[in-house]
Amino acid sequence: MRNGSNHTDDDSNLFAVGGEMNLMKKRKDLDNKHDDKEFGDQTSIKKARVIWSVDLHQKFVKAVNRIGFDKVGPKKILDLMNVPWLTRENVASHLQKYRLYLSRLQKKNDQKSSTGLSFLNSLNKQQNDGAIDNFRYSDGTLKLHMDTTSHEVDLNGTVTRPTIEKIRASISDITDPKIRKSSQIGCNQPFESAESEANHTVYEYSPVSTQCSWNEVPKRLLKKEQNTQKHFQIDQPLSMNSNPSDYKSDYVSPVNSMVSEIDTFPSQSKSLIANDQSPDIVFTSSLSSKAPGYNLGCISDMEIYQRNLLLDSHAASTPLDEYYNMNFGMQNMEMSEYYDPWLIAEVPTNLYDSADYS
DNA sequence: TCAAAAATAT
DNA sequence: GATATTTTTG
């Protein structure tokens, strides 16, 4: 529909103008060729490519989880989703991708849990990598990384300190005024209305709104640490994987990687200024002094993304940023209250490493 | 130009 | 319905 109606309208208008057409035609050349062919019979107007918006995907995931992983099939999903214009093929295709994603996810987890001791190494490595990675994102934001590994570590008690302190240090580097301010702004926005909108809503924000990641996080995990103490902004999550290349554009597992990001790192005053003018960071994350690991990373980046969209439609971030934004990471925040639990779909529980959340 | 997403073919 | 392959997109 997107292409269909809009473009053909444009084209026909142009066509009427005639004289000016050539100029425009160059631009629209491709489309016109299409149209020529397609106008032969009205019936063959190319059907729109389905864009799996956040909402749509959430529906999808919800359906999948409802049906149960073993019994799931495109048809059933389609039924449950109850989206009239969607076809079985659409769903099938999406399901294929989804399965692919999940299996990779699982592989990652297995890998991780079987590596045993080496997770310490990977923790360090990851933090280092993170530091480097931070600059891959040219938006000047600092990402603070945290991994479930650190959570495990935390539980063990042993290695907890460094991690936490590292984070704390970073946090305290950030001085409050601006962050606080913009955090608040972001946080106080009402999300619900927008979130519960039908799919179409999202389209209005395209082109950037359409990407999504699979991350879906069990609600209950969010509830565990409600008392939050520090607020800081998060923006772009980043994969924490020890195997970055592999994850370049992967969907990030909620289990595997949790990321918080702190804007306003001293060395990156650039972004400070930018944010000052138009705070593009919208969410607040929280660190509990008790169990940072726990507290981190319990919300889907999709949702974050969605919120970002809604709250910040004039977006300071570039499409590219947005793009990456979607593909990476988990974030956590104290947003639970803002959510309608219904709207949050979950990844099958068996995919979570139970140790991580037990 | 490329990888990821979606469509389509098997 | 699953998976492989192809096309489209950003």
Is strand C less than 7 A from the beta carbon of A76? yes
Is strand C less than 7 A from the beta carbon of A93? yes
- The count of other CB atoms within 10 Å of the CB of residue A89 is 11
Report the candidate in A295, A182, A289 with the shortest Cα–Cα distance to residue A229.
A289
Cis peptide before A207 (omega within 30 of 0): yes
Query: Percent of chain A having pLDDT more than 70?
Result: 18
Point out the nucleotide closest to A49 (alpha carbon to C1′): B6
**Token reading at A88:** 């079985």
> What pLDDT was estimated at residue A87?
93
Q: Assign A251 to helix, strand or coil.
A: coil
Point out the nucleotide closest to A89 (alpha carbon to C1′): B7
Q: How far is the CA of A308 from the C1' of C3 (A)?
A: 36
Query: Could you report how far apart the first and last alpha carbons of chain A are, in Å?
Result: 46
Q: pLDDT of A258-280, one tens digit each?
A: 333 333 333 333 333 333 333 33
Query: Which residue is the nearest neighbor of B3, CA to C1'?
Result: A249
Q: How far is the CA of A65 from the C1' of B5 (A)?
A: 22
Residue A74 has pLDDT above 80, yes or no: yes
Q: How far is the CA of A277 from the C1' of C8 (A)?
A: 38
Task: Provide CB contacts within 8 A for A252, sequence distance 6+.
Answer: A213, A215, A237, A239, A240, A241, A259, A301, A327, A328, A329, A330
Q: How far is the CA of A226 from the C1' of B10 (A)?
A: 52
Place of tokens 């949050």: A344
Q: pLDDT of A232-243, one tens digit each?
A: 333 333 333 333
Place of tokens 């979950």: A346
Alpha carbon distance A154, A294 (integer Å): 9
The string of DSSP letters for A58-90 reads HHHHHHHHHH-TTT--HHHHHHHHT-TT--HHH
Q: How far is CA A92 from CA A70, A197, A298, A314, in A?
A: 15, 24, 28, 34
Point out the nucleotide closest to A72 (alpha carbon to C1′): C1
> What pLDDT was estimated at residue A251?
38
Q: pLDDT of A154-194, one tens digit each?
A: 333 333 333 333 434 343 333 333 333 333 333 333 333 33
